Structure 1
């Protein structure tokens, strides 16, 4: 199954590791370090031109999505429930 992250970006649900609200970057030192490390290794992708609302972590890439984390979690939950 697939999850639409916004814009033209779709990922396989099997690749999904976590979905966070973008505010976690400001509140968690560990998440800042994680995203910083991903940026250094060029594993970060911004989707669309809108302000990011969520961070989606997959096995290979960190995505900044313009779709809220709650909406993305609902989309992901549908696929988990059907698996």
Structure 2
């Protein structure tokens, strides 16, 4: 299963650790975490609304975290 996170990007649903609102990105502990991880290129023309932490990277998305969580849950329960 894959989760479409905006644009033409998808991430493997089984690799997702968390989906977060970008408003928490500015907290010091989150800044440190994002600086220490592999962040996928943010070449979005749209406003970034969420970031997705996976087992090997962090990706940014123009889609609201609530919408991504609903998509994720729909993927899990559709099995």
TM-score (norm 2): 0.88
Structure 2 residues not aligned, in runs of 5+: none
Cα RMSD over matched residues?
1.3
Written as runs of structure 1 = structure 2, the 5 A alignment for 1:47-58 is: 48-58=44-54
SS at match of 2:46: coil
Written as runs of structure 1 = structure 2, the 5 A alignment for 1:1-83 is: 1-26=1-26, 28-38=27-37, 43-45=38-40, 46=42, 48-83=44-79
TM-score (norm 1): 0.84
> Contact 1:21 / 1:54 at 8 angstroms: preserved in 2?
yes
> Contact 1:47 / 1:64 at 8 angstroms: preserved in 2?
no
> Contact 1:47 / 1:65 at 8 angstroms: preserved in 2?
no
User: CA deviation digits over 1:10-65, x for unaligned, max 9?
Assistant: 11101111000000112x32211100112xxxx21225221110010011110111
> Contact 1:4 / 1:10 at 8 angstroms: preserved in 2?
yes
Aligned residues: 78
Structure 1 residues not aligned, in runs of 5+: none
> Contact 1:47 / 1:66 at 8 angstroms: preserved in 2?
no
